[in-house]
């Protein structure tokens, strides 16, 4: 792998060879997605870090939750929009387009979620994620109660907060390292 092949601006090439479990995970990505997301390649310089990242991501984004997978992707896009994280906007914007079947929704969330035709529940969820991203110290009980009033359980609020926190961390790492989105994302579900 040359410097130009690296998924970030840092000279941290993937472990070579990859451990068998990691290679199997990457093979599954290739089979299901047609690519290995560059975020995984970026973390693959240190397999323990990759495993920690993927365990947290998979739990937050794919495990059972009162939030749908689409809603979790919507949070990822709104947080990434506020943070101007190119990698996550491209990757998770594609996921929203794919999961919703609505390319316009994906674009609205990328540009300004307030323009999207959302129901009151989704609007409250994204408003909370936005406030947590820009002013987390200002969140108070009234903010949590507003989510409850829209039908979210306390467990759902926990999940909203954790997905939001995860993407705030991921956005900062991706931006700081100039993480490049896979070109395939740009054309997906358009």
Q: What is the CATH number of the domain that holds 53?
A: 1.20.5.810
Asked if the structure places residue 8 within a domain, the reply is no
Q: What pTM was estimated for this model as a whole?
A: 0.94
pLDDT of residue 2: 40
Here the CATH number for the domain that contains residue 143 is 1.20.1290.10
164 and 98 part of one domain: yes
Which residue range(s) make up the domain with 122? 69-187
- CA triplet 118, 61, 95: central angle to 5 degrees? 55
4 belongs to a structural domain:
no
Residues 98, 73: contact at Cβ < 8 Å?
Answer: no
Coil vs helix vs strand at 124: helix
Q: What is the mean pLDDT of residues 104-110?
A: 93
**Rounded Cα distance, 99 and 28, in Å:** 19
Q: Are residues 93 and 58 in the same domain?
A: no
Q: Residue 178 region, left (φ>0) first, then alpha (ψ -120 to 50), else beta?
A: left
Q: Whose CA is closest to 134, among 95, 173, 78, 86? A: 78
Whole-number Å distance between alpha carbons of 124 and 150: 7
Together in a domain, 31 and 77: no
Q: What is the rounded distance in angstroms from the CA atom of residue 52 to the CA atom of residue 69?
A: 20
Q: Is residue 6 part of a domain?
A: no
Give the rounded percent of residues in the chain with a pLDDT score beyond 90.
Answer: 91
pLDDT digits (tens, 9 = 90+) for 9-48: 999 999 999 999 999 999 999 999 999 999 999 999 999 9
Tens digits of residue pLDDT in 108-153: 999 999 999 999 999 999 999 999 999 999 999 999 999 999 999 9
């Amino acid at each position: 792998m040359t410097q130009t092949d690296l998924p970030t601006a840092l000279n941290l090439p993937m472990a070579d060879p990859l451990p068998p479990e990691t290679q199997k995970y990457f093979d599954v990505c290739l089979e299901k997605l047609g690519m290995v997301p560059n975020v995984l390649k970026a973390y693959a310089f240190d397999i323990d870090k990759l495993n920690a990242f993927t365990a947290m991501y998979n739990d937050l984004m794919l495990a059972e939750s009162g939030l749908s997978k689409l809603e979790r992707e919507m949070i990822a896009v709104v947080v990434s929009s506020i943070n101007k994280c190119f990698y996550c906007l491209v990757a998770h914007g594609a996921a929203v387009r794919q999961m919703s079947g609505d390319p316009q929704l994906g674009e609205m969330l990328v540009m300004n979620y307030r323009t999207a035709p959302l129901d009151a529940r989704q609007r409250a969820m994204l408003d909370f994620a936005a406030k947590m991203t820009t002013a987390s110290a200002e969140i108070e009980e009234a903010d949590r109660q507003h989510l409850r009033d829209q039908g979210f359980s306390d467990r759902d609020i926990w999940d909203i907060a954790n997905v939001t926190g995860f993407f705030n961390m991921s956005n900062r790492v991706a931006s700081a390292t100039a993480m490049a989105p896979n070109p395939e994302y740009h054309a997906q579900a358009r």
